[in-house]
Each structure stands twice: as C-alpha cells, then as structure tokens.
Structure 1
Amino acid sequence: MASLGRLTALFLGAFGAATALTGYASYSASRHTIETLVDRRLDEVSRALLDESLRGNAGAILTRISALSAQRETGDLGFELLDAKGQRLGGNVTVSGRVPPGFSTLADGMLPGTATFRMQRREAGGGLHLVTLVETEPIDGFAAVWLRSYALGFGLIVIIVVAGAVSFSTIVRRRISELRTTAEAIIDGDLTQRVPVEPGSGAFARQAATFNRMLDRIAALVESLRHVGGDVAHDLRTPLARLRSRLALIVAETPTPELEAALDQCDKMLAMFSAILRISEVEGGERRTAFRPVALAAVASDVAETLAATAADSGHVLTIGPLEDGAVEGDRQLLTQATLNLVGNALTHSPPGARVAVSVTRAAAQLVLTVEDDGPGIPAAERATALRRFGRLDASRHCPGHGLGLPLVEAIARMHGGTLSLEDARPGLRATIAVPVA
C-alpha cells in the first residue's frame, strides 16, 4: 500500500494535471468562440458592402469602401479590391502576397507596420475579389487577460486544495503516529497506554475510542491469563515446597535412590514455578518504574566472571570481549538474569571443549549483547519452538530442562524495548539481545 505522503503527492499531481487540462480546454474554447465572432463580423461586413447592386462594379465598390472607411465604427476594418488576376484595384489597405480564399490570419510581412489581423477573401462578381480585414490586437491580448484571471481564480482554488490536502495529511499522519506509539508501548508490555481521544464526536475520535475499548478488553484478558498462570504457580509452589521439605527430612534419615530422585524432581518443579512467576512479573511491567542507566558491558563482565569456574569445571572455554561502552535504561538484576540464562544455556547444551563467547557491541542506536557457542546449535525451523514457553527441542537437545529459560530472556528483552534473536553461528548458536541505548 502506498505511503500517505505518496498518496498526497499523487492526489495533488492529479489535481494539478486536471487543473491545467481544464485551463487549456477553457482557453481553447474561449479563443475559438472569439475567433468565430470575429469571422462572423467579417462575413456580415463584407456581405453588407457587396450587395447585389454593386457586384462586378469595381468603381461602385471602391466608392463604398471609401464611405465605410470614413465611418468611426469601422475604423478597425480594412478593405482591398482585387481583379481577376489578383492585382490590386484599390482600397484603404494594401496586402502583399497571395491571400487565400475564405478566412485566414494575416501572416507576418503581408501588411508591414500593422497589428495582427484576421481577413476574409470572397468573390465580388465579374472576377473581382474583396479582401476584408479586421484588427485582432484586442483578441491577441485576450491570452494575457485570461491567464491573469485563470491564475487568480484557479490559483486560489489550488492554494485551498493544497492547504487542505497538506492539513489532512498532517492530521492523519499525527493520528497514525499516536496509534503507532500506543501500539509500540503495548508491544513493549505497557498495557496501560491508550490512544489520545480529542473532544468531539468526529471519525478520528470514534476510531480512537473504539481502539481503546479493544485495548481495554485485551488488557483485561492478558491480565486474567497472567494472574491465572501466576496464581497457579504460586499456589502449587507452596505445597510443593512443603513436600520437598518433608522429602529432604526423610532422605536425611533414610537416603535411597528413589527418594533422592523424587527430591530432585521437586527441585526442578520448584525451579519451573519460579520461572513462571518471574516471567509473569516481567511481563507485568511493574519494574519499569525502577529503570536506571545500566552499563551492559559491566553486566556481561560480571556474568562471565561468575560462571568462569563453572565453565572450567565442565571443560568449556569461556571468553569475554569485545565490550563496548554504553548504557541502557533498564533493570540491572533482570539484565543480569537474561545474560546468565543465555550463557548457562550455551554451557549446558554445548559439549565439553566447546567455546562460549560473550560480547557487547554497538550497532546504530542499540547495544547488542551476544552469547555465541560452537555447539550443535538450533535448526532454523525449531527456533520459534525454543522461544515458546515449555518449548523443548528433544531432537537436538538431550539435556533436561523446563523450556522457560529463553522465553524469560525474551520477556526481559521486550520489557527493555529490545529483541532477542537466535542465529546460526556456523557452527553453533548465536543469541543476541539488542536494546536501545539510553
């Protein structure tokens, strides 16, 4: 679909073309009408001069020409009588060159020192021909007069239409900008944002009100789902924690492999519920109010230092850098959690001896935290599954887990106005969090 600016330009271009075409048609029609009236006058004057009593009588025709030339109302008319050979017999003008039969426009040089004329040559009896001319200088000035009138009249219309189109485009662009700003805030997790509704019952106000009602409904549904998931996880976590405590006491008194396995399962379930509650907390957006400038390079460095011993114990090579300076508006604890999850995933899902690299680079107006490994990676067709809650890639990841690590990272990135991307490192996986610079 064409952009609003392009549509406005197309409309103005079409209007301008229509205006120019209308002007040309109006000028041509007016010019043709005036020429028709001039030719009609020539015809009437020449007919009146050549009545039946004068046809073929050169002397009487010349006498009539002299009498008409003396009249004030015919001062702009010229007459010339020609014989059968086209030789001049007399008249009050002398036209050089051949005059074609019928109506024509006096060519340059045919009547030196004069203005533009329209002329008619007609048969006058006895082989004689009468050439009648009328000055068209006022008609030739019609173009300038018409152009001034057209420019004044249509110019005002063009100005009004252009101003209206630009104003309409500005209003629509502002409304779209308000809608886009609200939508971006909703995407970032702030479900409280709404489109401004200006007073009045216009189409834009009704549209904004309808959109806001839709957002109210979506927010209510999302909040309900979030509370359901959080409430279930919270309610189950309490009895599960009690069960774990009792199992721990039993294992301490009577350790058996079955009881230890049950205790391990309890720990995994508690970790899963904690992750669910953490995601609900992040998606709620309450922690945005505590955002502060955070140096992403410092976060990456701290995480790498924290996991250095773990990486060494598992036989991995953990490298750090480059680390470019820059800060983002965010929650340091959540950004640390996201980085820990990415590095932890890389260490868990890559074989011993694999390399895991952590870096922070700057790209345009974003800081990009990258965690890259040379393990088995994630096939492109399964990356969407990896980002889905409880998404498991058993075909390529044979390690235990609950499938909530990457969804939590994505929720944290989205909360900070950024994105999480999974790419092929050839070999291995490259996970990047891109967050706007503060």
Structure 2
Amino acid sequence: MRLTELHRTTSFRLATLFLAMFGFASILLFGYLYVEITGFETERADEWLRREHAELIRDKPDDLVARFENQNRYDPHTQRPFGLFDAGGHHLAGGYPGERPVIPAFDTPFTLRLHGLQHNPPGRCIAAGFPDGRVAIQCQNTRELDHFDEELLHALLSAAVLTLVIGLLGAALIGVGSVRRLDAVTASIKEIVAGNLSQRLPMRSKQDDLDRLVRVVNGMLDEIERLMREVKGVCDAIAHDLRTPLTRLIAGLERAQRRAQTKEEYRAALENTLAEAGGMLRTFNALLRISEIESGVRRESFEPVDLAAVAMDALELYEPAAEDKDISLVLERSSPKPYPMLGDPSLLFEALANLVENAIKFAPPQGHVCVRLFSDASDFGVSIRDDGPGISVKERQAVLGRFYRGEASRHTPGNGLGLSLANAVAAMHGMEIRFADVQAGCEVQLAKPRESPDARNCSREAASASSASG
C-alpha cells in the first residue's frame, strides 16, 4: 500500500478520530483557561479602580486638585493616569494626557485608548461627576495585561499546532505499522491461496486484537491442512486398496474368457466376480457411511438411549460368531443401573458392533473377549478387551484413520474402515475412543465425559425408557 492511500486504513482513521476528539477537548480547555486568566486580570484592575473611586468620592471637592497632582508625582511612567476636567472638558489636574475622553458611563469601569501616551495603549478607567460640573477620571494602563493576553494566546495556539502535528505524525506511524502487518498477512494469504498450505499468518508477541484473529485463522489453517492430508491419504488408500480387488476381478474374468468351457466353470467365475464386486461395494458404502456420520445430519434425530442396552444387543448379535471360533464372549458391568445418554441407537449399535467384531476377529481360538460397562466420577462407557496380538502404541492414532491396516491385520480380511466408522460415531456423540494400556491383547474404550450436558439432561428419560423396555 502506498503512503497516499494511508488515509484509507482503519487504524489511521481511528487515530485521527481520537486526535480530533482530543483536539476538541483541548480547544475547550484552552478557551476556558484563556477566558478565566484574562477575566481574572481584568477583575483585579476593576477592583482597584472601584477602591480608588470610592476614596475619590469621599474626598472634599476642594482637595481634588491637590490629590490628582500628588498622584501624578508618584506615577512618572503614567501607568495609572488620573485626570480632573472642568465642565467644558478642559484639563485641570493629573497626569491624564489630552482632553477629556468620551465617557460611556459614570461610576462603572470601562475600556478606552489612552491617546497621547506612546503607542496609544489600552486602559481600564472609571469616571466620577461632581455637582459643579467637574469630571474626574481614573485609569489603569493595561498594555502589559494585553501583552500577557497576546502571549498566552500565542502559547495556546502554538501548543495546539504542536499537538496537531505530533498527533498526525503518530497517526501516520500507527497507520504505517498496521499497513505493514496487513501487507505481511496479505502476502501469507496469497501464498496459502497459491497452494502452500503449510504457510501461516505472521504473529507478534503483543497479543492484540489482530494477533487473536491471526491465532484463530492459523488454527483454522491447521485444521484445513489436516483435512487435506486426510483427503489425500484417503484418495491414495482407495487407489491402493481397490487396485488389488479390481486386478483380481479382471484377472478372473480374463481366465473365464480363456479357459471356461462348462456352465459350472462360468458360474464359479461369476461368483468370484460378484464376491470381488460386493467387497468393493461394501468399501464404498462404508466410506459414504463415515461421511454421512461426520456431517452430523443424524444428530438431529438424537433420543434418550441406554448404552447398556445397546451393548447387550451387540453382544447377542456376535455370540454365534464367538462360539464358532470357540471364544468366550462375556459382559461385565460396574453397576446394574442404566447408562443414559442422548444419541442415535442404530449408530451406537453399529460402532459397538464393529469393535466387538474386531475383538472376535483378532482373538485367538479358545480366547477371551470381555465387554465391560464402566462408570466413574469422570466418565462412563463401554470397553472391549481381547487377548489377541494388540495394537502398538505408535499405531493407536493411525488405526483410527481410513484404510489403515496395522501390522497384526495385514493378512486378515477387512478394509480398514471399522475403527474409522466407530471413531466418527464417537465424535458425533461427544465421545472418544481410547486405547487402555494392558499387558496382553488390546482394550478399546468408547467413553463419554460426565460433564456432557446430554448425560445430565436425559438420564431420567433414558432410565424410564429402559425400565419400560425391560
């Protein structure tokens, strides 16, 4: 931004606005000081004139000439010129220069020019009339007072101009500083728009309003970069994971085209093809399911749910599969009371079913799978524990991503989306998936914090619903 465009910046306008407000307040203050100081000096001169006037009125008429001549001897610089004039206006006594001036009012102080003195200085005077027609005038030369007023006004104006210059300079500096910061932010934004998602907006250590906004935007950019990495990872994973089944599908069709002679051979080739296509369709359905859950559309249909009832339903569904592998599948609960929360029962069932299915899949023959309902002061939920190969600590976060297959599951059927779906359901319900540290096997917890308002608001409703269903 050029300096000629500085006046368009918000910071410069705010600074000039505050300068204008300060200038207006300063003008009022300076005006008040000027009026009060000059008024005080004038009032002092008027008080002195009134005292002299009162003494003059009390004197005898025959002593006026002597009084005025005596005062003139003690006033060689004519700072307080007195004058006594006859009825015709001719000078009789005193040091007042010239003839009698025009008197606007008697017995009241007034201002006039002392003609006859050097530079015709201003004066503050009071006049008295006597029965014989004579007029006495007493004045105070206010040249020094006027000079003081001029100097005071000059000082106030100089201070105002200096304040204005300093204020405009400060506004310009503030505006330039803000423009530089905005230019740096704009340059960073242009880099981000150009595709450099690792770029972040610059921050200072002042922790001002712009820094708070930049911190929020940088957090948003971190989330966008994470999502973009996930999108890229999902695209790469889809291409990688679907390449193998597509290759097998095409290879099977080509073999059937070259070798199949009988209906049974064609039927076997078609069955293999349908199985491969069905697996790919299930993968895409799982991806669409995760996207639907992450969008939060189903959150509007939340209702009171007993998590214990959902866990028991999932357990009943997989009891036959556990029996086929000779696996002990048991349910434990720390309390016979319901585990109430707001949620979508079908999604919660789907998440728990995925976790139980994984536990049965990786548990060894004659192994054990324990589904435990827990509740304590901090949270409540369901844990699923098996005695299979487990998940290493470094893989615990990665297995929640889409298509990730751990070292222990490389040769196990699946598409790597079960934990991703369970994690999406958990996030939708304000829950989290945690991996407990166990000596052998794996323990996955689906936990909901106690401070969640859902658990507090619907506990009674879910409890009554569970009692009614029982």
Please state which band the TM-score falls in when normalised by the shorter chain.
0.3 to 0.5
Name the TM-score, length of structure 1 as normaliser.
0.47
Name the TM-score, length of structure 2 as normaliser.
0.44
Structure number with larger C-alpha Rg: 2
